Amino acid sequence: MELGVWVWLGFALGLGGLFALDLWGLRRGPLQPRHALRRTLGWTALALLLAAALHRSGPPGAAGDFLAAYLKLLPVESIFVFTAVFGALGIPRELQARVVLWGVLGALAARAAVTLLGAQVVGAFAWVLPTFGALLLVVGLRRLGAAGAPHAPDLTPLQGRLRRALRVAEAQGERFFVRGGGGWRATPLLLALVLIEITDVVFALDVIPAVLAITTDGFLLLAANALALLSFRSLYFLLAGLTDRLTHVPLGVALGVIFAGVKLILAPVWTMPTALYLAVYAALILVPVLISLRRSTSRPGRAL
Provide mean pLDDT across the span 186-195: 90
Look at residue 52 in the predicted model and tell me its pLDDT. 92
The tally of CA atoms less than 13 A away on the side-chain side of residue 30 is 19
* pLDDT at residue 240 greater than cutoff 50: yes
Look at residue 90 in the predicted model and tell me its pLDDT. 85
* pLDDT at residue 300 greater than cutoff 60: no
Percent of the chain clearing pLDDT 70 (strictly above): 88
Look at residue 303 in the predicted model and tell me its pLDDT. 42
Provide mean pLDDT across the span 114-131: 84
Sorting pLDDT into bands at 50, 70 and 90, what band is 147? low
- Give the length of the chain: 304
CA distance 301 to 2: 57
Element at 207 (helix H, strand E): helix 188-212
Provide mean pLDDT across the span 62-70: 92
Give the closest residue to 216 by CA, choosing from 267, 286, 270, 283: 267
Provide mean pLDDT across the span 102-128: 85
Look at residue 200 in the predicted model and tell me its pLDDT. 81
Q: Which residues contact 180 (CB under 8 A, 6 or more apart)?
A: 169
At 56, the amino acid letter reads R
**202-214 pLDDT tens trace:** 777 778 888 887 8
CA distances from 220 to 47, 79, 86, 156, 164 (A): 11, 24, 32, 37, 41
* pLDDT at residue 191 greater than cutoff 60: yes
* pLDDT at residue 74 greater than cutoff 80: yes
What does the domain layout of the chain look like in residue ranges?
Answer: 5-298
* pLDDT at residue 130 greater than cutoff 80: yes
CA distance 79 to 84: 9
Mean pLDDT, the chain, whole residue set: 82
CA 197 to chain centre: 11
Q: Is 61 left (phi over 0), alpha (psi -120 to 50) or beta?
A: left
Q: Is 46 exposed, middle or buried (0-12, 13-18, 19+ CB in 10 A)?
A: middle
CA distance 227 to 215: 16
CA distance 299 to 263: 38
CA distance 66 to 187: 38
CA distance 226 to 124: 25
Look at residue 65 in the predicted model and tell me its pLDDT. 92
Q: What DSSP string describes 236-295?
A: HHHHGGGTTT-TTHHHHHHHHHHHHHHHHHHTTT----HHHHHHHHHHHHHHHHHHHHHH
Phi and psi dihedrals of 184, rounded to 5?
-80, 140
